[in-house]
Amino acid sequence: MSSPKKTTRRNVIKVGMAALASAGIITPEGNTALPKDIKPKARGETKVVFLGGDVLHNFMAQEPALRGICERAGWKFYSVHDARYVTPELISDADLMMIERWAGGVPGWIPGPVFESAPENDRYMTDELEDAIVDNVTNRGMAFMSIHCCIWAMAKKKFTNMLGVNAIIHGPLQTVRCNNFNQNHPITKGMKDFDIPIDENFGAEITDPDTIPLYETFGLDDKRQDYGGWCTEKNKGRVCGFLAGHTYFAFQNPNYLELFRRGAYWALKKDIPVKG
């Protein structure tokens, strides 16, 4: 009878990396790849990198909704749900980055084969990634979109300064009404009030005089009125944020997805086309 394989740190690391390799980056072709296999973007391409999905937030609602917006625009969309794959090299030529993750505390969502234990925390957000994001936005002009819990990163001062807001923690799950749209900004001009039936009502505290509120949200249960969306310009880059998105209801709402579409074009410094 053969003896069982001895458990060593090296074997554990090898098994962990094999599990990670089953996840990877979802490419525009629908395949998965590792960062080293992602080719630099071609001339004229628009590259979008989305980091989303953890054990508290539905990647399978977020990913197809945001991918659809970007691919209809003709942009290449790379999505990731494990922050260890979001390297400085991956975003070094990105035109737009979107994040729906909060800075710490839970593991990323990792699909794949059967696991004997839950995946570990993927260490989002590291200081290295914070520096890379801020540098790419402010010095290179990469666009950035903050989605839902991305705002919850108080320990990351460079990152939150780039966002131009501080987070106000949400209340209970409830109907959230998006209202009081800024009719003087191209992202929200012409938008009318709408409800998201089940969501968390995060709020944004404006911390930068250059931050422009885009709309407000009202929680029908806790009766709290907050800023629910904003935008700002940080040196060469543009940033916007939208705070709904805890549940799949937001990513099925055509009005909310229209905000994403307009926000993406604005952050990329592209003219916002009339919705087709």
Q: Helix, strand or coil for residue 165?
A: strand
pLDDT band at 113 (very low <50, low <70, confident <90, very high): low
The model's pLDDT over 73-87, given as tens digits with 9 standing for 90+, comes to 999 999 998 899 999
81 within some domain? yes
Residue 15 is predicted with a pLDDT of 37
Other C-beta atoms lying within 10 Å of the C-beta of residue 9: 7
Choose among 26, 48, 51, 52: nearest CA to 37.
Answer: 26
pLDDT (0 to 100) of residue 136: 98
pLDDT confidence of residue 134: 98
What local confidence, expressed as pLDDT, does residue 120 receive? 78
The secondary structure of residue 139, as a DSSP letter, is I
Q: How far apart are CA 92 and CA 106, in angstroms?
A: 26
What's the pLDDT score for residue 176? 98
26 touches 78 (CB < 8 A): yes
**CATH number of the structural domain spanning residue 239:** 3.40.50.360
Measured from the Cβ of residue 174, the count of other Cβ atoms closer than 10 Å reads 20
**Domain of 72, in residue numbers:** 9-165+231-267
Q: Which of 18-22, 190-194, 272-276 has the highest mean pLDDT?
A: 190-194
Residue 256 confidence (pLDDT) above 90 = yes
Residue 91 lies in a domain: yes
pLDDT, mean of residues 34-56 = 93
Q: What is the amino acid identity at position 186? A: P
Mean pLDDT over residues 260-275, rounded? 96
When mean pLDDT is compared across 23-37, 139-153, 192-206, 247-261, the lowest value belongs to: 23-37
Q: Is residue 66 part of a domain?
A: yes
- DSSP per residue over 69-134, as a string? HHHHTT-EEEEESSGGG--HHHHTT-SEEEEE--SSSSPBP--SS--SSPPPP---S-HHHHHHHH
8 A C-beta contact, residue 180 and residue 164? no
Q: What is the overall mean pLDDT for the chain?
A: 90
Mean pLDDT value across residues 144-152? 97
| Total tally of structural domains belonging to the chain | 1
pLDDT for position 5: 42
Q: HSE-up of 135 (CA within 13 Å, CB side)?
A: 11
Q: How confident is the model at residue 214 (pLDDT cuts 50, 70, 90)?
A: very high
Classify residue 39: in a domain, yes or no. yes
Mean pLDDT across 137-144: 98
Instruction: Average the pLDDT over each of 21-25, 57-61, 171-175, 259-263 and give the range with the smallest value.
Output: 21-25
pLDDT at 107: 79
Return the higher-pLDDT residue of 179 and 109: 179
- The answer to the question of residue 74 being in a domain is yes
The verdict on residue 211 lying in a domain is: no
End-to-end Cα spacing for the chain? 68
For strands 237-242 and 225-234, give the pairing: antiparallel
pLDDT at 54: 87
Helices vs. strands in the chain: H and E counts, helices first? 6, 13
For residue 24, tell me if it sits in a domain. Answer: yes
User: What's the pLDDT band for 16 if we cut at 50, 70, 90?
Assistant: very low
Q: pLDDT exceeding 70 applies to what percent of the chain?
A: 88
d(CA 33, CA 100): 21
pLDDT band at residue 276, thresholds of 50, 70 and 90? Answer: low
Q: Does 221 reside within a domain?
A: no
**DSSP letter (8 states) at residue 148:** G
Is the model more confident about 143 or about 16? 143
